[in-house]
Amino acid sequence: MNRVRLLVLNAALGPLDYKLAEGMAVAPGSVVVAPLGPRTVTGIVWDEGRLPGKQVDASKLRALREIIPVPPISKPLRRLIEWTADYYCAPLASVARMVLSSGGALGGPATMTEYRLSGGVPERMTPQRAAAIEALDGEQGTIRELAGIAGVSEGVLRGLVNQGVIEPVTVAIDRPYPPADPDFHQPALSPDQMAVAKRLVQAVEEQTFEPFLLDGVTGSGKTETYFEPIAAAVRFGRQVLVLLPEIALTENFLHRFEQRFGTPPVLWHSSLKSTERRRAWRAISEGPKNGGAQVIVGARSALFLPYAKLGLIVVDEAHEISFKQDDGVRYNARDVSVMRARFEGIPVVLASATPALESLHMADIGTYTKLELPSRFGGAELPDIKLVDLTKEKPAHGRWLSAPLIEGLEARLAAGEQSLLFLNRRGYAPLTLCRNCGHRFQCPNCSAWLVEHRLSARLACHHCGLETQPPETCPECGEGDCLVACGPGVERIADEVAELFPEARVAVATSDTLGSPERAAEFIAQAEAKAIDVIVGTQLVTKGFHFPELTLVGVVDADLGLEGGDLRAAERTYQQVAQVAGRAGRGEKPGEVLIQTRHPEAPVIAALANGDRDAFYEAETEARRDAGAPPFGRWAAIILSSEDEKEAREAAVRLGDARPHLDDLYILGPAPAPLSLLRGRYRYRFLVNARRSANLQQVLNHWVGGQDFAPGVRVGIDIDPYSFV
Ligand code: ADP
Ligand code: ZN
């Protein structure tokens, strides 16, 4: 091969052809630098014939500049890049960027200079030099590190370098990772856990594609169970990827992993420093041996890393919607992980206590193998769930906790046990208005109210991140001291608890208070040490946490998630409430759950109260079947936006006029999006509902791709959307 076609990391460009310089050898997947006009561009050498485009005349080809010294992108990963771009209607370059996601790993030297004693002696020995030479026996490090060890100035050491007493050595810049020990501490599994673990270990040993749905109730020990196939993969010399939905959960996971394997796993998430990214990326691409990466725990973006020898993927809390990315390439990491496993020819495990309806359906039709853990580990019982009808048990004026819930809190405080109050609303109050003129505080960039955050004394937009100080006077009527908070957020509930029980130790747990791994770790340590009596939290506390002394869970407003036009509202409410209920009674003491609702008769609320998951899923499945919704039909959203309202509207109307008329495809819209203004852009939406027979992507590409939009208009296609705002 002396001409190559590149997939370049620039979505504005198509594939580009180059020739090889004399003596240069590349293979498909090689990462290369190529000239482009006066500049250069990074690209991946692609398989012949798989990127469409006209052949450039051989005489016009320029030569590749260089090959970047990283392992070539593997064939399964190249196929995954193609599949993801195709399925999600995204540019190949944007997907490839997620693979080559560490600039540091691709550029710059991978080595640095360290120093150590050479065995020589200085021309002139001083007491200082003698002491330094003695202290540095067997040491190696940078001059600064050695100066610290020897307790002398860097100047003293540089003098010794000049005399050849200390010599430079070239070392790899990234430290190797300590190996995980699959036999470090193997817990005794229950018979149920053992059966599931055995089946998964067998799949790891076979190394063929097999998707599993690990459906285990909260507290059944899913983590301990899937640690066994991870151990098997490590023994086997394979890498394992574990995807977690939330960085706040990682701390807990790292701790348990270290107890099981004697060393922490390799971490991957968006807030890694660039040096950490480089170290992890390289170790992942080099494979599991010799200090490479064996087990990688990460957020959804870890799915696209260039694993050298992947042997197993685990997606924990697989129902979580944070696996869906809503900007850039709009992919669902849960679904793409199954595709990656398929291309790699390996098993994949989706673990959850409340699987997505789509996943359960795949298990029902036999595409996924279902493995069940029906009871809690160690004999703990599932909690007792009761409804509190708010139309009968009205909280006091301006309060949100009903008498039964207050009594429950009181009893737990008296017994020295913990309680958790769940409300999926950050901040103090979702709306602030002026008592005098009725002015409502709205975000100037978004069609959304500003949320009051009293802990940080701010009004904040949860959509664009805008923050302002609450004004002294109303900006509309000029009246002072007239602003009222409407509705509760977690901070307000925490205030209510503090007023009712001044002696109680209350902690607010949201992404505002537990945003970093360190703060999450601190919170967990405090809760475990029983330094917290009442936790008030958002969906962040619904999963993963295991506090044995927590015996009461109160759901402040179960109806909240059912409002609005979200097509998955019932399912999401079910999952959230079931997950948060699952935090209660995980230790020896039994748990109780009180669900406050104004609609005790709503099917999802009734199913929660009766603990009848199957009935809920059956009813929901039928509703989806009738509506042609996933998994029976497919959805796609198209979002058009512009800073200019008229431009956005006209683009939407024009696209609407060009809509295809097909039997197996219904198009709703255009309509202003519920969030009709977001970050200063006006938005219009279409919702496409397709039968499974329709070739949705092809139709969308033809329809949307065939339009010429004004330059200020942005068009986004969202396949299998989760967000309907
Ligand atoms: P899940 O994720 O299914 O809700 P966890 O994995 O958090 O459940 O397990 C619940 C608790 O039980 C954890 O504290 C876990 O360490 C413990 N546990 C589960 N299985 C075992 C086991 N085989 N041996 C010892 N402890 C276990
Ligand atoms: Zn905003």
What pLDDT score was predicted for residue 108?
60
By three-state DSSP, how is residue 307 classified? coil
pLDDT digits (tens, 9 = 90+) for 360-413: 999 999 999 999 999 999 888 889 999 999 999 999 999 999 999 999 999 999
What is the predicted pLDDT for the residue at 143? 93
What's the confidence (pLDDT) of residue 285? 94
Q: Ligand 1 pocket check: which of 223, 242, 541, 549 to mutate, most ligand atoms within 8 Å of Cβ?
A: 223
Q: How confident is the model at residue 56 (pLDDT cuts 50, 70, 90)?
A: confident
Contact 504, 498 (CB under 8 A): yes
Residue type, 554: G
- The whole-number pLDDT of residue 620 equals 92
Evaluate if residue 723 carries a pLDDT over 90. Answer: no
* DSSP states along 664-702: TEEEEEEEEEEEEEETTEEEEEEEEEEETTS-HHHHHHH
Average pLDDT in the chain: 93
CB-ligand 1 contact for 222 (6 Å cutoff): yes
260 lines ligand 1 (CB under 6 A): no
pLDDT number for residue 248: 67
| pLDDT over threshold 70, residue 109 | no
Q: Evaluate: CB of 298 within 6 angstroms of ligand 1.
A: no
Q: State the pLDDT confidence band at 68, using cuts at 50, 70 and 90.
A: very high
Tell me: the pLDDT tens digits for 233-263? 999 999 999 999 977 677 788 989 999 999 9
| Domains, the chain, with CATH or none | 3-100 (3.40.1440.60), 111-172 (1.10.10), 191-378 (3.40.50.300), 380-425+488-621 (3.40.50.300), 633-719 (3.30.70.600)
- The yes-or-no verdict on residue 133 having pLDDT over 80 is yes
State the pLDDT at residue 515.
78
The 10s digit of each residue's pLDDT in 567-610 is: 888 999 999 999 999 999 988 899 999 999 999 999 999 999 99
Is-cis flag, bond preceding 670, omega within 30? yes
Per-residue pLDDT tens over the stretch 449-498 = 999 999 999 999 999 999 999 998 999 999 888 999 999 999 999 999 99
Q: What's the mean pLDDT in 524-533?
A: 94
Which residue has a Cα nearest atom 19 of ligand 1? 221
What letter would DSSP give residue 30?
Answer: -
Give the model confidence (pLDDT) of 617-656 as tens digits: 999 999 999 999 999 999 999 999 999 999 999 999 999 9
Closest residue to atom 14 of ligand 1, CA basis = 546
- Whether residue 113 is predicted with pLDDT greater than 70 in this model: the reply is yes
What is the reported pLDDT for 565? 67
Residue 661: pLDDT band (50, 70, 90) is very high
Q: Is 67 helix (H, G, I), strand (E, B) or coil?
A: strand
The CB of 193 under 6 Å from ligand 1? The reply is: yes
Rounded to 10 deg, the angle between the 154-162 and 127-135 helix axes is 90
* pLDDT tens digit sequence for 215-236: 999 999 999 999 999 999 999 9
pLDDT at 417: 96
Specify the ligand 1 atom closest to the Cα of 189: 23
- Rounded average pLDDT over 125-131: 88
Q: State yes or no: pLDDT of 189 exceeds 80.
A: yes
Phi and psi angles of residue 466, each rounded to the nearest 5 degrees, phi first: -60, 140
Cα–ligand 2 centroid distance for 482 (angstroms):
23
Beta carbons of 456 and 448 less than 8 angstroms apart? no
CA max distance for the chain: 93
Share of the chain above pLDDT 70, in %: 99
Ligand 1 atom with the smallest distance to the CA of 548 is 14
| 447 CA from centroid of ligand 2 (Å) | 7
Residue 649 Cα to ligand 2 midpoint, Å, equals: 20
Average pLDDT, integer, range 308-320: 97
Whole-angstrom CA distances from 48 to 43, 425, 658 are 15, 52, 36
CA of 224 to the centre of ligand 1 (A): 6
Cβ of residue 720 lying under 6 Å from some atom of ligand 1 = no
pLDDT greater than 90 at residue 206: yes
pLDDT of residue 561 exceeding 90, the answer is: no
> Rounded distance, CA 474 to CA 505, Å?
35
pLDDT at 112 (0 to 100): 83
Residue nearest to atom 20 of ligand 1 (CA): 221
- The reply to whether ligand 1 has any atom less than 6 angstroms from the CB of 221 is yes
Nearest bound ligand to the CA of residue 185: 1
Name residue 113's amino acid: T
Which residue lies with its CA nearest to atom 22 of ligand 1?
A: 189
Q: What is the pLDDT of residue 291?
A: 87
Ligand that comes closest to the CA of residue 376: 1
How many Å lie between the centroid of ligand 1 and the Cα of residue 219? 6
Report the residue among 252, 377, 583 best suited for mutation to probe ligand 1: largest number of ligand atoms under 8 A from its CB: 377
Flag the least confident range among 159-173, 252-266, 429-443: 159-173
Amino acid of residue 643: E
Q: What's the confidence (pLDDT) of residue 181?
A: 97
- For ligand 1, the distance from its centroid to the CA atom of residue 222, given in whole angstroms, is 7
Strand order in the sheet with 295-298: 266-268, 295-298, 239-243, 310-316, 347-352, 210-216, 369-373
